[in-house]
Structure 1
């Protein structure tokens, strides 16, 4: 009996230590978009030891087509560990089924560029203890979210200091019949100018060397591999510093659960350099 009690006592101590070491908490918040006149949910992962007396860098992490705000925490539970490791906040907003994170030129009810940059970020900065400047903000995502992250960061370099994409749909034009993009851009045969204007690969003119810390990657077997390679080559031609990584793999959660580790390390390094610079 004494041995059992000692074992139980030891187990409780280990459990308590484990909870202290892995103490990230996950909030689900309900935000309101004036631009779209509706409530939109988001997940916020807070690191262990979070307190209001410290200002935390924030990584905005976007889901892919047909996904939602819970995709990342559901499919990659280690997200909480990464928030602890890098001492950052991770925000996973809902981008609807297929918004591609733009303000649609044909559907006035889909304004996700406005929502994230002008509504969600102020909400997060008001309700959480964040670094309220571009030096403390990064954005990344997978697939549709990779497109969204680059689209938003390229256009709003005053808001984000770093950006990434995982298997990003960085050029929409080769896929005119896919992922319900006609719903937000119009048919390619009728509105080709929209497909040109809203493809990330056509926005690199907004960048200057060093204006944005950039990292992106894609699996060699991914259907988005070639458009990512094309973006990489265009950035090289424009002398825009960036990290581009090719790994084995396809368009899968197995790939993204591995990729996110390296992306968050990149952002953590960026935040650390910015803090030293200040």
Structure 2
């Protein structure tokens, strides 16, 4: 029995480059949500790992594929046997304002549960190569890095590995990018406003995680602070700085480090 009132899956005869498209009606969104899904070619695959890849502000489900060609890269890396076959699911964030922050909102729309529950359930239900046995990973850029790090560490029972690129590290940094009032993002649970607070609350159960940032990125100081505070607390993690700014060429270049990190955890 479906976990959704309605689902739509693209027709294979019209798909290309291993991309499939899903729309489901989500109780958490109080409406419909969209997913782009990279699925490795071999139909005999089963129980494939699932990488949830979150976008940043202004974007949607299509942006990772159409700005970085991640689906083409995954196909190439799999064919070259650099990585094991994996599914990559790229959901919209819920399309609230300039960006939902992937957090619950006071209106009752829960953008966190959309990712943790609905996105994964949709892939397991509609993509034959996935199953409830599939290992789960989560990553994202900027706002999506905040979502990935916070959600991945909080829901450590679900995720085998977590990674963030050029991540917002505290919810207040959303003001650098969005026109919506920060009051709309206010949280009653302190761990929802800070990656560090999430890590501290769950420090005894954290999955392996990493994050990186460009040295000329406006979010670099937040990433450095997070790294130093995690070190101070003795929380294992990987942190790396690279040349680059808050821009697509950085994410296109460095997403491979994240995928290799996940591959090494399989």
Q: Mark yes or no: TM-score above 0.5.
A: yes
How far off its partner does 1:207 sit? 3.3
Q: Deviations over 1:20-64 (max 9, x none)?
A: xxx951001111111222111100001132x25521001000000
Deviation, structure 1 residue 171 = 1.6
Residue number in structure 1 paired with 2:92 = 94
Higher helix share: 1
Q: Distance in 2 between matches of 1:150 and 1:232?
A: 13
| Stretches of structure 1 lacking an aligned partner (at least 5 in a row) | 1-22, 272-278
How well do the aligned residues superpose, as a CA RMSD in angstroms? 2.3
Any residues of structure 2 matched to 1:1-278 within 5 Å, and which?
Answer: 25-49=18-42, 51-83=43-75, 85=78, 86=83, 87-95=85-93, 96=95, 97-104=98-105, 106-108=106-108, 110-128=109-127, 129-130=129-130, 132-133=132-133, 136-173=135-172, 176=175, 178-179=177-178, 180=180, 182=182, 184-186=184-186, 197-208=192-203, 211-271=206-266
TM (norm. structure 1) is 0.79
User: In structure 2, do the counterparts of structure 1 residues 53 and 209 end up closer, same or farther at CA, with 3 Å as the change threshold?
Assistant: same
Change (3 A) 1:130 1:206: farther
Whole-Å separation in 2 of the counterparts to 1:171 and 1:246: 19
- Equivalents in 2 of 1:123, 1:228: separation in Å? 32
The number of residues matched between the two structures is 240
Unaligned runs of 5+ in 2: 1-15
Structure 1 31/145 Cα, relative in aligned 2: closer, same or farther at 3 Å?
same
Larger displacement relative to structure 2 (110-119 or 251-260): 110-119
Structure 1 stretch displaced more, 254-263 or 77-86: 77-86
